[in-house]
Amino acid sequence: MPNDPDAEARRVFLERGGPVLVEGPVEVVLDDGTVVRSDRFAVALCTCRRSRTYPWCDTSHRRREQRGPEERAPVEGDRPDRR
C-alpha cells in the first residue's frame, strides 16, 4: 500500500528533458486505469508522450527539438499552468 510505513521506498531519478528513471520493479497505473508492470531493475518512464511504447521511454524525446512550455501543444489530461 502507498501509505504503508514499512514499505520499501522506490528511488526516482528526474532527468531534465528526458524520462523519469525509477528503480524497479514497478507498476504504472495509466489514465484509463490500466495497470502495466515491469520487473526490470530500473525503468525509464516517458514524460514527453512521444514514445511508441508509452508509458515506457523509447528515447523519442531525443529525435525532435524540444519546445518550451509556452510552445508546447497541450496534452489530454495535462493540468493548466498555475502561475
Q: What ranges do the domains of the chain cover? A: 12-61
Mean pLDDT of 41-52: 91
Residue 79 has pLDDT above 80, yes or no: no
Q: Do residues 23 and 46 touch, judged by C-beta distance below 8 A?
A: no
Residue 41 has pLDDT above 60, yes or no: yes
Residue 34 has pLDDT above 90, yes or no: yes
Lay out the sheet containing 12-14: strands in order across: 12-14, 20-23, 42-45
Mean pLDDT of 58-62: 84
Mean pLDDT of 22-28: 92
Mean pLDDT (the chain, rounded): 79
- Distance separating alpha carbons of residues 74 and 50, to the nearest angstrom: 13
Mean pLDDT of 13-28: 89
